[in-house]
Structure 1
Amino acid sequence: MIKFAICDDEPIMVHEISNRLSQYMDGRKITPYSVTSFSNGCALLESGCSFDIVFLDIQMDNLDGIETAKILRQRRNRSLLIFVTVLKEYVFNAFEVEAYDYLLKPLDGSHFERTMDRAVSTLAQRTDKSIVIWRGSSCDVVPLAQIVYCEVQGRKVYVHQRDGKVIGFYDRLENFERQMDSRFFRCHRSYLVNLDYVRGCDTGLVTLPLGAQIPVSRLRERDLTQALLRYMKERDS
């Protein structure tokens, strides 16, 4: 079940996005799915529901789309946020809240389909790819999309997850790295980072969400930039 939310104070736009979603999902034969609409950000936040993809109008009264998204992220909500806006200038604010994409009004059919193709693919990755971490006789099943970065300290590898949980276990980072996919990059001999969470790189540090930073080797800074560009190209294709 893919759960969509549409948050827009214009009923006409809610109706249009809903129709486009139905046409897309039915055309791709993707089932089941649900679409829930909200007329403002407060109603979305108060719903208490967890959605896979949220279409957020940026310009809304009382609580706009950006502020609504900030609160969602503070709650560690992992929904794919797709902003809908009239003005391109607002798009730059979307990066602060890890927006997945943005759509300009009036909606372009081709852009909408491309965005949906990527979003559905991303959801599939989140669902399908996990790793089993053994700790003695117990184990943890961790989705790769949940891992922000890994670090090695002494003889233990520590896996830092998006929800703040850290799992430590005895292994070599090289062995753990072999189980990762193309979204992970060895930015330092002691660090492995998920490229989905990289927000920037400057003066020997990789910036992660919420301002967190980890080191990047000077000799690997250029490789990190190239890996980011290559990964973004693969992801968007």
Structure 2
Amino acid sequence: MIQIGFCDDDPSVLDELHELLGSYRTEHNADIAPTAFQSPFELLASIEKGARFDILLLDVLMPGENGIEAAREIRQYDSNVKIIFLTSSAEFAVQSYTVGAYFYQLKPIWPESFFRLMDSVIAACSRESSVSLILRCRTGITRVELDKLEYCEVIRRSLLLHKTDGTVLEAAGSMDSLCESLAEHRNFLRIHRSYLVNLEHIQTITPKTLVMSSCAELPIPRGRFNDIKDAYLEHAFQKEQVFLT
């Protein structure tokens, strides 16, 4: 389900957006859940409490704090949400891109252009969700591209995700829930109760150790070597990689 938040200080605009999103959901059979906010402070308070949105529609000119300022604060919690600014003037377009805006919607809002924009942004969300993982980390909500996830481990009660660029993210949740989230992605294999690896980034497999492309050495439990080796070779064959015999 796509979570959409929209924020405007004008109740009539909120009603209009609610009606437009309802019509879009009906006409496109879209699985979306809209939530309205009448001030950026309301929206920020909700995000600070843990609310997550895929798309945010923000009015640029609001009393107390404008949409651009609110977006800068939102980016401290969520670097991935698609932000669309609502404005009566295109002069804010340049400013909108400084906070990583997806696009801006001019007022008055015409259903045809709004629906085309929704088609585009929802399609972008769907593409990203199929090849990425959204995590709630200490640094905020983060999207990790799966091909850049090398391996994951549990140390004490911390879930650590190691990326190919050397970054390590500490995330909420358990290894069991992470494995469940990645179950449909065949290139991830749980080799140990505390380790999940991306088969794409395995460098060497020995009876006792698995070496990743970053040179990290992960222990192979007793009796698991053949299973892990077979899973890796099957993955390599499916990828049509070259073997030297």
> TM-score by structure 2 length?
0.55
Q: 2:17 aligned with 1:23, yes or no?
A: no
What is the SS of the residue equivalent to 2:165?
Answer: strand
For residues 64-120 of structure 1, give each alpha carbon's deviation from its aligned partner in whole angstroms, at most 9, with x where no partner exists: 100000001122342110100011111211000111111111012221111101111
Equivalent positions of 1:68-217 (< 5 A) are: 68-130=70-132, 131=146, 139=152, 158=165, 169-170=212-213
The answer to whether the 8 Å contact 1:132/1:139 transfers is: no
| Aligned residue number for residue 9 of structure 1 | 9
Cα distance in 1 for residues equivalent to 2:149 and 2:34: 38
Extract unaligned runs of 5+ from structure 1.
141-149, 151-156, 172-178, 180-237
The total of aligned residue pairs comes to 152
Alignment of 1:50-65 (within 5 A): 50-65=52-67
SS in structure 2 of the partner of residue 37 of structure 1 = strand
Q: Which residue of 1 aligns with 2:136?
A: none
Offset at 1:139? 4.9
| Alignment partner, residue 40 of structure 2 | 41
Letter in 1 for 2:34: V
Secondary structure of 1:81's partner? Answer: strand
Query: Aligned in 2, Cα 1:57/1:115: closer, same or farther, shift over 3 Å?
Result: same
CA distance in 1: counterparts of 2:22 and 2:122, whole angstroms: 14
Counterpart AA for 1:2: I
Relative distance call for 1:132 and 1:110 in structure 2 (3 A) is same
Offset at residue 123 of structure 1 (A): 1.0
Percent of aligned positions that are identical: 28
| Partner secondary structure for residue 70 of structure 1 | helix
Structure 1 runs (4+) deviating above 6 angstroms are none
Structure 2 unaligned runs (5+)? Answer: 133-145, 154-162, 172-197, 202-211, 215-238, 240-245
Secondary structure of 1:56's aligned partner = strand
**C-alpha displacement of 1:160:** 5.8
C-alpha distance after superposition, 1:8-27 (max 9, x if no partner): 00011111111111111111
Q: Could you tell me which amino acid in structure 1 is paired with residue 112 of structure 2?
A: S
Equivalent residue letter for 1:36: T
Q: Residues 134 and 42 of structure 1: is their aligned pair in 2 closer, same or farther, counting only changes over 3 Å?
A: closer
Distance 1:17 1:27 in 2: 15
Counterpart residue identity of residue 8, structure 2: D
Q: For 1:78, give the aligned amino acid.
A: N
Structure possessing the higher radius of gyration over alpha carbons? 2
What CA deviation, in whole Å up to 9, does each residue of 1:116-165 have, x standing for no partner? 01111111112112435686xx558xxxxxxxxx9xxxxxx52669x799
1:30: Cα distance to partner?
1.5
The TM-score, its normalising length taken from structure 1, stands at 0.57
| Distance verdict in 2 for CA 1:61–1:121, change over 3 Å | same
Alignment match, 1:154: none
